[in-house]
Structure 1
Amino acid sequence: MNSVSTATSPRQQTLHVHRPGQDQWWRHAVIYQIYPRSFADARGDGVGDLRGIASRLDHLAALGVDAVWLSPFYRSPQRDAGYDVSDYRDVDPRFGTLEDADAMIARAHELDLKVIVDLVPNHTSDQHVWFQQALAAGPGSPERSRYIFREGSGELGEDPPNNWQSSFGGSAWTRVKARPDAPGSAWAEDGQWYLHLFDSSQPDLNWENPEVRAELESVLQFWLDRGVDGFRIDVAHGLVKEPGLPDWSGSVSMVTGVDEPPPEETQGSTLPGTLPGHPPMYDQEGVHEIYRSWRRVLENHPGEQILVAEAWVEPLERLARYVRSDEMNQAFNFSFLVTPWSAPRLRTVIAESYEVNDEVGAPTTWVLSNHDVVRHASRLGLAETGKGPNGIGIGDPQPDAELGLRRARAASLLMLGLPGSAYIYQGEELGLPEHTALPDDAREDPTFARTDGAEKGRDGCRVPIPWEADAPAFGFSPTGESWLPQPEEWSAYAVDAQTGVQGSTLEFYRTVLRLRRELVLGLGSSQWEPTFGDLASDGDVIAVVNTAEGREDVLVLANLGSEPVQLPDGWQVKLSSGPMSGDDGRTVPTDTAVWATR
């Protein structure tokens, strides 16, 4: 067992200081992500819907979260699970109606839950009326200027305009004449290509066009008037492209951003403050002007609505620019999400996150799972932790379920003890693992098809969640229908199977969130606990003291090492992610986190 004497410890070091006046709800809120297709199905067709969501909001109020964020429920062909929007001002019939949306928002507000909706401004569906008009209007038309159309390269324009690759695999360009709905004889010689950083059914909008800017501001106003409390901005760093669309030989994937730096001869953007090889399609200066404009839209509306950036931006200093005082309110901390299960590396990202966000007066927004990554209850059970693979399938290396859940509970207790805001992905409170045995013929993520199955994609984290152990589809649907098959073993994870069960993950989360709220941990200041050293130490313990006037200090400690450690003198256990050991119950086993007070 490791034990460190306080007599030789370095002095306590400040991580974050809470400043008076920085008490707005979004600075400390715990926000629950709902993936509408997989939360609750009220109609029995196997697809989650808005009425189903409204019927289950009591669960979230009892859980103790402050707000919900809903992935897209707009009208859509669902080529990318709703992130291909054909009408921003309507609800897709799969999910219900605008009246159902109004009722869901009203029910959430009755339960003191704020509602954040997804906005997808980088691209539309190819079925959006604008893109259909662009196809029909032809080259050089005002309709095409709403998107990014270009002539091809090569002698006859037979090659894409540049070498950019889609984040879903393959080229980021599709030729108009290659589409089955390409215009007929009127544009038989139309050799233009259109840009899509994701699927070919998701053409990128041209944010240099004032009409595009005006339209999306109008969409913001439409949903503000319907009572939403904020917007999560999809691909927030991708709206503006570098002029000239220069070639770039790097690659970009979900959440982690740039995976491979380009070779020396094609370094990409040379913007000041960027890393070598900065991708010319992401994190351009022009996005900040857009978000300043959006912030003004929100500030001119009654209430306190927020903007949340989904931005895969490195380093953290670049990400912090999205949450300056006149831009976004929050930005997901993906650097924290993808950090391997290593105390030194997690200490580093925690310290850097506070440093860069405090510099601009913004909260740090913690997250461990979402609809784009392997669930952290499985990711942390793999031989290599961190972001993990893009999906896990039959025949792939399988996670250690027991180890993954033990680490996941510890990681969640660590995250929720830190000052700032935090996001929880649906089913996380149940300890749900990834569905790693999903049949290939059931997969719908376009990544799976565009990579010919080389990447399994994100369906495994999107499987409908279990509510009732013995009900059809585990209570997700009254008929037993489910758009993705659920594993049989998920009956043990169902809400009713865990409710009232001491030690269950659900009751653990309920206790964590109750104590976090009572102690107002999200608005605390924080320092390293000196017993275990400071940021420079290479030990296996993360130990942070969360402090605030008028309440007891809280030690947030996580043991990521191979040996148990002793709690520092004077601290008494208030809550732990797993059983404590030792005769006095003050020994923290490996892969365990604890909150303690003195």
Structure 2
Amino acid sequence: MTDVLTAQDPTATDETWWRQASVYQIYPRSFADANGDGIGDLAGITERVPYLASLGVEAVWLSPFYPSALADGGYDVDDYRDVDPKLGTLEDFDAMVAALHGAGIRVIVDIVPNHTSDRHEWFREALAAPAGSPARDRYVFRDGTGPAAENPPADWVSIFGGPAWTAAGDGQWYLHSFAKEQPDLNWANREVRDDFLHTLRFWSDRGVDGFRIDVAHGLSKDLGEVLPTWAELSAMPKDGTHPLWDRDDVHEIYAEWRKVFDEYTPARTAVAEAWVAADRRARYASADGLGQAFNFDLLEADFDAPSFRSIIEFNLGLAEQSGSSTTWVFSNHDVVRHATRYALPPQNGAAEKQGGAWLLAGGSPDALDQELGLRRAQAATLLELALPGSAYMYQGEELGLQEVGDIPAADRQDPAFFRNPGVDVGRDGCRVPIPWTRDGSSFGFGSGGSHLPQPAWFGGFSVEAEDDDPDSTLNLYRKALGLRGQLQSEERLEWLDTGRDDVLAFRRPNGWTNVTVFGDEPYELPAGALLLASAPVADGALTGVGTAWLRA
């Protein structure tokens, strides 16, 4: 018994490159350091373009590289149209884009529109201006409460913990959904809207092919005259009318952005980071909006065959609804690496499923079944790369890197760690600079050490250690990405009956078959030429947890 799921068959042109692209996320400060100051930079990325080309990715997505005090890892932006001097110059950016394009790799950059940094020239001007001024209207300021306005306008809590309002010093307070160094912009202000249209054109004119939109669901706000309490705010449904999140009118902003994207040939692409109810995701991915939206459902799921199938079916349905293609992702700069998550016991949908409980317990590798975690991660990644849609990978996962869980408190940088002591250890463990060589002061990251401490075991996971090993995770990714480019076709799949609840199998229209075993027992593979497998195949059977690709 089989059934067929169809998203939308694309036309294989440059206009649709993004629909089934393999995208590699670079966290610039932790990728490669060319000048030896301990911080990754754009020149370091340029030097590593041959590595990216050998990996076989079709695009890179760069996390923020703008001037920033790093109150939130670069997501506190001082200037949206410049490069942080620690990371390089605009000329370095142009050279990097030219090198990537020369290797056939497209470039996606992060745009952070919900908030600026508190060092942005607009915010400095706002603090110096009086209440009610045009400068303050670019942000969200409200009068404080109490006899001397000494209390915040409401008892709201920020995403990073602690108050969501900070005093401006004159009886007014400003809203920051995240850190206090990240004041929220007022997107009802025409000047704010026009300035971001300028920013989109600025980077598009420099050759950027697409944009990843941070907190895409947070821009539009309608606070009203009387602010609700935090309890009232938290109880409000997020159905398009919430004062802060996923408001229906946010899509008016993205309709304007789409007009800018379509000024270029090929049109610039965009993907929304929108943490919204699944049935509201399609609007962000519509053709008259951003065009694509992140699907984090597999990232949040336990390693479980029925869960994976349900998520895949649902998201291919959403893609058909929006006319877009879906996205798949297991790791990024905000979550515990999936090789580590899959080494931990199933969390059954608990909040700790990202590995939080393990981190809070000290992040000891002794608590991990690292071999099982890596085997599951490799199997999941091959399944991801076989699916219709875009596949997003995070730097270092191609090396099989585990999370660095035991970073000393004195070395941590993530504001979530400092604002939620004992509750959240933050995201530094997935942001540790990746290893390029077996040894050295920073395992080849740069000559001046590393801005986050690297563990001694990193050398065994380095590019140098894995480069010539045909069975390494690195070479598994290389083989998979090379084959994926040859095998991708129409955006649909046909489920195959496997006779087992712990095995998923599907066929793509060109006869490419994916079989993933989630359990420990061997599984006899269907007929076809074996193209690639993440686990041993003996006597025609995949020996336990793993994924195999075959072609009829």
- Alignment partners' CA distance in 2, 1:136 and 1:342: 55
- TM-score by length of structure 1 reads 0.87
Identity %: 50
Q: What residue is the counterpart of 1:446 in the other structure?
A: 415
Comparing 438-447 with 469-478, greater Cα deviation is found at: 469-478
1:221 to 2:201 alignment: yes
- Alignment partners' CA distance in 2, 1:384 and 1:118: 32
C-alpha distance after superposition, 1:178-222 (max 9, x if no partner): xxxxxxxxxxxx211111111000000000000100011111111
Q: 1:325 aligns with which of 265, 278, 287?
A: 287
Maintained 8 Å contact 1:365/1:420: yes
- Alignment partners' CA distance in 1, 2:239 and 2:475: 49
1:470 to 2:439 alignment: yes
Maintained 8 Å contact 2:210/2:269: yes
Maintained 8 Å contact 1:248/1:279: no
Maintained 8 Å contact 2:360/2:423: no
Q: What residue is the counterpart of 2:252 in the other structure?
A: 289
Offset of residue 457 of structure 1 = 0.3
SS of the equivalent of 1:90 reads: coil
Equivalent residues in 2 for 1:380-395, closer than 5 Å? 380-385=342-347, 387-390=353-356, 392=359, 395=362
1:120 to 2:112 alignment: yes
Alpha-carbon RMSD: 1.9
- Alignment partners' CA distance in 1, 2:462 and 2:220: 43
Counterpart of 2:359, as a letter, is I
Equivalent residues in 2 for 1:60-139, closer than 5 Å? 60-139=52-131
Counterpart of 1:494, as a letter, is S
Q: What residue is the counterpart of 2:523 in the other structure?
A: 565
Q: 1:492 aligns with which of 446, 451, 460?
A: 460
Counterpart of 1:373, as a letter, is V
- Alignment partners' CA distance in 2, 1:248 and 1:565: 55
Counterpart of 1:575, as a letter, is L
Q: What residue is the counterpart of 2:171 in the other structure?
A: 191
Comparing 280-289 with 195-204, greater Cα deviation is found at: 280-289
- Alignment partners' CA distance in 2, 1:247 and 1:401: 47
Q: What residue is the counterpart of 1:247 in the other structure?
A: 228
Q: Which runs of 5+ in 1 are unaligned?
A: 1-10, 178-189, 251-261, 273-277, 534-538
Maintained 8 Å contact 1:86/1:125: yes
Offset of residue 279 of structure 1 = 5.2
- Alignment partners' CA distance in 2, 1:121 and 1:344: 37
Counterpart of 2:503, as a letter, is V
Offset of residue 49 of structure 1 = 0.5
- Alignment partners' CA distance in 1, 2:250 and 2:494: 34
Q: What residue is the counterpart of 2:497 in the other structure?
A: 530
Q: 1:345 aligns with which of 307, 317, 326?
A: 307
Offset of residue 140 of structure 1 = 1.1
Q: What residue is the counterpart of 1:4 in the other structure?
A: none
Maintained 8 Å contact 1:393/1:437: no
SS of the equivalent of 2:282 reads: helix
C-alpha distance after superposition, 1:20-69 (max 9, x if no partner): 53751000110110100000000001000011110001101110000111
Offset of residue 395 of structure 1 = 2.5
1:21 to 2:11 alignment: yes
Equivalent residues in 2 for 1:502-541, closer than 5 Å? 502-520=470-488, 523-532=490-499, 539-541=501-503
- TM-score by length of structure 2 reads 0.94
Q: 1:576 aligns with which of 524, 533, 537?
A: 533
Offset of residue 300 of structure 1 = 1.0
Offset of residue 475 of structure 1 = 0.7
Q: Which runs of 5+ in 2 are unaligned?
A: none
SS of the equivalent of 2:514 reads: strand
Offset of residue 153 of structure 1 = 3.3
- Alignment partners' CA distance in 2, 1:37 and 1:503: 29
SS of the equivalent of 2:333 reads: coil
Counterpart of 2:216, as a letter, is A
Question: Structure 1 residues 246 and 527, CA, compared in 2 at 3 Å: closer, same or farther?
Answer: farther
Question: Structure 1 residues 290 and 17, CA, compared in 2 at 3 Å: closer, same or farther?
Answer: closer
Question: Structure 1 residues 370 and 248, CA, compared in 2 at 3 Å: closer, same or farther?
Answer: farther
Offset of residue 572 of structure 1 = 4.1
- Alignment partners' CA distance in 2, 1:425 and 1:271: 31
- Alignment partners' CA distance in 2, 1:84 and 1:395: 28
Offset of residue 496 of structure 1 = 1.3
SS of the equivalent of 2:407 reads: coil
C-alpha distance after superposition, 1:350-389 (max 9, x if no partner): 1000011111211011111000000111111111356514
SS of the equivalent of 2:283 reads: helix
Maintained 8 Å contact 1:147/1:194: yes
Q: What residue is the counterpart of 1:268 in the other structure?
A: 236
- Alignment partners' CA distance in 2, 1:542 and 1:22: 28
Question: Structure 1 residues 100 and 547, CA, compared in 2 at 3 Å: closer, same or farther?
Answer: same
How many aligned positions are there?
542
- Alignment partners' CA distance in 2, 1:453 and 1:446: 13
SS of the equivalent of 1:85 reads: coil
Q: What residue is the counterpart of 1:230 in the other structure?
A: 210
